[in-house]
Amino acid sequence: MVVFTYDDSPLEDYTLTYEVHREYGVPGCTAACPGYMEERDASLEPGQLREMQDDGWGVLSHTYHHRALGHIELTEPAREGDDRLYVRANRHGAIADDPLVVFDEGTETTATVAGRGSDSVGQYVELAEPIAETVGRSGYVRYPGSFMREILERTDARLESWGLDVTGFVYPYGRYDGLAEEIVRDHYDAVANHRYGGGHNDLEGLDPTTMRRMYVETDKTTQDDVDAFMDGAAEEDVLAIVGGHSQYDTLTEDRLRYTIEAALERDLAIVTMGEALTVLEHPDG
């Protein structure tokens, strides 16, 4: 079996990816951000995604506004009175007023997002108020657990209000570390990118909340890589998962066709995440 997953719910999921899949009579899965769908002209409309679902596609959660749930490392100490957190990537600064937890092995304190940026030191999250306690360079920043749960519940509720069935989860930015892992695995029956890389998920003893996928964009894999991946999927007892972003120039129509054909030529069943879970639960039919 192979599951095709596409992130961010861009309009191209409907105008490109869905059209190509439909020509071959096979489904895919959209990892949807309902906030984007409500606010961005370049995103799917709920009716389009509902049409795709009615035609056999699966729907996964990708959080409401594509927030990075996993913790991210500090690159400089966060000293008491600082109003900037220097971080490996400033993903948590994307949305003003979001609550944060800043912590290391011995200290945990809270903060509120004002914005983000970069300077000669590196990327940073701007804080609405100076940090109250010092956190060492070995520390991290993340969202509070209650806020992460609220994000997931709100995402599912909005998608379900549009008549969509949520059958799994994809981490935005591949940020899965720390408390987020526990919360996501408690909330969903399947996670397509629990860790980066791979994509062959052994069926024996498989926990569907710990799966991996391979990106098929042209800047990440070659045609030879796709062939080798599908060879392995056909020869081994695995659930294979591929991923991509329909809005990227590197996920071309040619690459979509090549990847689908590579699966079909090896007699691999292309299924949704929900269908894969059903097979895993009832392997003998």
Residue 197: predicted pLDDT:
83
The tokens of 270 are what? 């292309």
String of DSSP letters for 5-65 = EEES-BTHIIIIIHHHHHHHT---EEEE-HHHHHH-TTB--HHHHHHHHHTT-EEEE--SS
Report the 10 Å Cβ neighbour count for 224.
8
Rounded Cα distance between 12 and 248, Å, is: 9
Buried b (16+ CB within 10 A) or exposed e, 142-168: bbeeeebeebbeebbebbeebebebbb
Residue 140: predicted pLDDT:
98
Per-residue confidence in pLDDT tens, the chain, 285 aa? 999 999 999 999 999 999 999 999 999 999 999 999 999 999 999 999 999 999 999 999 999 999 999 999 999 999 999 999 999 999 999 999 999 999 999 999 999 999 999 999 999 999 999 999 999 999 999 999 999 999 999 999 999 999 999 999 999 998 888 999 999 999 999 999 998 889 999 999 999 999 999 999 999 999 999 999 999 999 999 999 999 999 999 999 999 999 999 999 999 999 999 999 999 886 655
Residue 21: predicted pLDDT:
98
Residue 178: predicted pLDDT:
93
The tokens of 52 are what? 């795709």
Half-sphere exposure of 16 (CA within 13 A, CB side): 21
Q: Which of 159, 142, 164 is nearest to 64 (CA)?
A: 159
The tokens of 163 are what? 């008549």
Helices within the chain (DSSP H only): 12, 18-24, 34-39, 46-54, 145-161, 179-187, 223-235, 253-265, 273-281
Rounded Cα distance between 241 and 229, Å, is: 10
DSSP class of 76: S
